[in-house]
Every structure is written in C-alpha cells, then in structure tokens.
Chains A and B, each alone.
Chain A
C-alpha cells in the first residue's frame, strides 16, 4: 500500500512490452511509417501538384506518391471514395464558375449571356485534377494516422507540449461532443421526445440539442482546464513519453529527398528551365 519510494531507472521487459502495446497499432507497413513521413508525403504531393499544374504531372504524382501507399495500406477503395466525396462538390462549383467566366477564343456553347470556352473547360479540368490529388494525398494521411500519434511524435521532436496538447484536445473533442449529444438525446427520448419516426421527427428531435451540447461543452472546458492545471500540464520543458513511434534513416532520407526534389522542381519551374507538361 505504501507509495513506491525508490527512483527506478529501468523498465522491466513486461513493462516495456506493455508500453509498446499502448502505441497505436499499425494495420499495415504503410500505417507503421512515422507520422512525419506520412505528413511529408501528403504535403509534398499536394504542393508539387499545384506547382507543376497541367494534367500529366499531378496524375504522375498521384501514381508515384499516393497510390502505392494506399495499396500497401489496403485503403485504396475507401480513400478513393472519400476523396471523390470531398472533391466532387468543390469541383462542381469550380467547374461552373470557370467554364463560363474564363475568357477564351474557342466558344463551345452559350447559355444565356454566358459563353462556355474551351479555355475555361481546360482551366476547370486542371483545378479539379489538383483538388482530387490533394484530397487523395491528405486523405491517405488521415486514414493511416491517429491524431494522438502525430501529436506525440511532434512533441518528441520539440513541439511545445502546450501546443501539442491543444492540437490533440481539439482533434479528440469532436468524438466527445458527438457522444455527449447522443447521451443527451437518449435522455430526451426518455422524456418523451420522439426521434424514431419520420425523418422530420428525427431532425426536429436533434435540433433542440445542438445549442445545449455546445454550451455545456464550453462550461466543461473551463472545469477541464482547471483539472489539467492540477496535473501539471502547463509545466514547460521536456516530457518522456510512454511510447514513441519508430523512425529510421531510410525514412529520414526519404523525407529529405522529397523536400530537395520539391525545391528543385520549384526552382526549375520559376526559372523556366522546366517545361510545362500538358
């Protein structure tokens, strides 16, 4: 019962194994990549797609940097679905705006006062391709990385614990709020609120809960921040994390290569040494 008095300096094998089991479990070799590596792939793929433009370059980037990872992670179908869902609404609005407003010599057809030009179609097409590549690249990161893993890893690399914590808390707040909304909704059903009938009844039943859930979450934030203060969360300085995520020389090399490659492309484009691909 008495508190431990010594200052143990070594971990037992069992403890070491236990702590390792606390780290998010990797579902595939791609999941197992360090979060920073996955973040670098997503970021560079997105930036390069925008800098290079056209159709061929973004699709090449997609084929080389994103699809192999998605296949390795076993999420290609899901990722494509998510990326389409995200990029379609934006694409439609982009297409509508640019097809009809882009000035150009080749008028394809006319709707009222608006001319649809071939240049507009081309411009919209290029934007849509870039958006899709972006959605695929960021989506792959999101589907293969747990937020807390990314945050813990950034903290190990020197990100301020306060910033890291705020980031993690924000990412984890959404599921908590959803859960709270469900609990309050259950309590209101227990007070005779009918949410099992028509769609209208369901929507009507949920609406009154939106405000209170946000409000009570805000009240909670104050209490929660006090409770964090007493757990020394504001202490500056390093922390030894319970688990860390593997990183290795090959991944570091890959990240540097991506960065250097991107800079070369950027400089080449700006200097005009790199011809624009179709």
Chain B
C-alpha cells in the first residue's frame, strides 16, 4: 500500500508548489496510471511517492507519504530502496557507470541489498528473462540503444523485487513490442501484490494495465477514478491528455451521428 495524504511539495530554492494537496492511495496488486500534460507534476509525484523527494532531493513537503503504513519521512534512502522501486525517465542517467556488462548492471541493486550471490543471480536472470533481454547480458551497458537502455533500467529495478514500484514514463523510448513486454512485466509484479504507480503518455497502455487512473493538472489531482471511466472521459483532452484509441474512435463515431458497427476492443 502506497499512500499520499494531502501532500504538497516544492523543490529546494523554488517558491512554487509543484504538487498541491494531492491525496492518493494505491492498494496491493493495484496498478494506478498517472496522466497529465508535460510539467503538470507527474515526475515530481513519482519522486514524492517513492520518498526520494524530500529524503534525497530536499525541498519542503507538507502532508504525509506512507509505504505500508510507515511514513517515508524518517527513512534513509537505502531503506526506501528496499520498500519501493523507482524507474526514472531517462535511462542514460540511471546507469551506474561502474559495471562492464548488463548482467552486472542489473545485479548491482541485489548486490547492494546484501543478498547472497545465488539469490542475486536468480533475480538477475529472472529480470532479464521477464523483459526478454537475456541476449543483452554480456553487452556493455554504456553502448545500448535508447530502447535497450530503458529495458535494462527497468530490469535493474525489477531485480531488487521491490514490494512496490513507481515508474516515470517507462516506455517512452520503446517500440510497440518493448512496450508490450514492460506492460506484461508490470502486470506480473502487481500479481505478486505490489502497488504500482505508472506515469505515461501512452494511454492505450494504461487502458490495458490499470485499474485506476489519476490525472494531474497544475500539480493538483484533476480526475481520479476507475480507468474505464477516466480514460473514456472527453474532459481528459482538456487536461492535455489523449484518450486511448478505442475511446477516441467511439467518441468520434458518436459525434458524427453514427453507430458503431461492432465492438472496438
């Protein structure tokens, strides 16, 4: 369970509230989608929900963020790391820079957690297999394409098997196949009881994945409800968010005064 309770946040050195009065609860096994136009606060919410802001980033937080009932405020960064995983937007800056192979890069988190080698190896194999990137195991992590680097970044967090996971645009650099694989991996993780928060522009992916969708506007929660309802709502477009293709098409057909000849999805 990941909870944000009336959270407001501003970055160190800035007066502007980037998040204002955000309340949100993500239950075990639930995948919540986070949408909104660029700079509406999605990335900041990801940092706050994972506890990294303000614990590592600094800044001023009002309200409370709780992970499984424990307030993040008193935790140290490595304690947070074993409670909630965070995948950043830019795969290049997530690379440790100290490993020679993708296998070691993905294994770095489990090694840091102090796991026995046998377990680290099993988790690393599993994470690589889940994202179908076993073939990259021996490659130099600094010499990957954008899409490959993004899959490696996700695998690096999956291997730590965090009880909960926050992802900031995890599929931005990925082709449709990679996007599908990430979707499947997230579903599998939710199946193990993790609470997942996924910020994404690709609402078609959220449509397949999420039980609930939250839309941000100017750092505030503008919409929050079951995915099927929020993603179908034309009001989403006013928030700078495309509805999934099936809802958009249904809407356009209805607006033209026509009837759908059959099911869409």
**A and B are partners in one complex rather than unrelated chains:** yes
| Inter-chain contact B103/A1, CB cutoff 8 Å | no
| Inter-chain contact A242/B126, CB cutoff 8 Å | no
The answer to whether B96 has its CB under 8 Å from any CB of chain A is yes
Of the candidates A227, A235, A236, the one whose C-beta lies within 8 Å of that of B93 is A227
Find chain B residues with CB under 8 A from A2 CB: 188, 191-192
Find chain A residues with CB under 8 A from B156 CB: 231
Q: Which residues of B come within 8 Å of A, CB atoms? A: 50, 52, 56-57, 76-78, 80-82, 85-86, 88, 90, 92-101, 103-104, 107-109, 111-123, 126, 130, 142, 156-157, 160-161, 184-185, 188-189, 191-192
- Which A residues from 167 to 202 make CB contacts under 8 A with B? 168-169, 172-173, 176, 179
| Inter-chain contact B98/A165, CB cutoff 8 Å | yes
Q: Which residues of A come within 8 Å of B, CB atoms? A: 1-4, 7-11, 15, 18-19, 22, 24, 148, 151, 161, 165, 168-169, 172-173, 176, 179, 220, 223-242
- Distance of A242 Cα from B99 Cα, bound (Å): 11
CB A4 to nearest CB in B, in angstroms, measures 5
Given A169-B98, A176-B142, A242-B107, A230 and B114 contact (CB-CB distance below 8 Å)? no
| Inter-chain contact B189/A3, CB cutoff 8 Å | yes
| Inter-chain contact B97/A176, CB cutoff 8 Å | yes
A1-B184, A148-B99 given; 7 more Cβ-contact pairs under 8 Å: A9-B116, A11-B121, A226-B56, A227-B96, A231-B81, A233-B78, A240-B115
Find chain A residues with CB under 8 A from B121 CB: 8, 11, 15, 19, 242
Find chain B residues with CB under 8 A from A168 CB: 98
| Inter-chain contact B117/A234, CB cutoff 8 Å | no
| Inter-chain contact A230/B142, CB cutoff 8 Å | no
Find chain B residues with CB under 8 A from A242 CB: 104, 107, 111, 117, 120-121
- Residue in B78, B82, B103, B107 with the greatest tally of chain A CB atoms within 10 Å: B78
Chain B residue with Cβ nearest A240: B117
- Distance of A124 Cα from B114 Cα, bound (Å): 53
CB A123 to nearest CB in B, in angstroms, measures 44
Given A3-B126, A22-B101, A227-B94, A232 and B109 contact (CB-CB distance below 8 Å)? yes
Find chain A residues with CB under 8 A from B104 CB: 22, 242
Chain A residue with Cβ nearest B84: A230
CB B235 to nearest CB in A, in angstroms, measures 34
Q: Which 8 A-B pairs have the closest CB atoms?
A: A235-B78, A223-B93, A232-B81, A229-B77, A232-B112, A231-B109, A227-B94, A168-B98
CB A86 to nearest CB in B, in angstroms, measures 26
Chain B residue with Cβ nearest A228: B96
| Inter-chain contact A223/B90, CB cutoff 8 Å | yes
Of the candidates B78, B157, B184, B189, the one whose C-beta lies within 8 Å of that of A229 is B78
CB A212 to nearest CB in B, in angstroms, measures 16
| Inter-chain contact B81/A229, CB cutoff 8 Å | yes
- Residue in B122, B161, B188, B189 with the greatest tally of chain A CB atoms within 10 Å: B122
Find chain B residues with CB under 8 A from A18 CB: 103
| Inter-chain contact B76/A234, CB cutoff 8 Å | yes
14 A/B residue pairs, CB under 8 Å, sorted by A: A4-B123, A8-B118, A11-B118, A24-B100, A148-B99, A169-B98, A220-B93, A227-B94, A231-B108, A231-B109, A232-B112, A240-B117, A242-B107, A242-B120
Find chain A residues with CB under 8 A from B113 CB: 232, 235
- Distance of A128 Cα from B41 Cα, bound (Å): 62
Of the candidates B100, B109, B188, the one whose C-beta lies within 8 Å of that of A1 is B188
- Residue in B81, B126, B142, B156 with the greatest tally of chain A CB atoms within 10 Å: B81
| Inter-chain contact B191/A233, CB cutoff 8 Å | no
| Inter-chain contact B114/A10, CB cutoff 8 Å | no
- Distance of A8 Cα from B157 Cα, bound (Å): 20
| Inter-chain contact A239/B192, CB cutoff 8 Å | no
Find chain B residues with CB under 8 A from A4 CB: 122-123, 126
CB A89 to nearest CB in B, in angstroms, measures 31
Find chain A residues with CB under 8 A from B52 CB: 226, 229-230
Find chain A residues with CB under 8 A from B114 CB: 235, 237-240
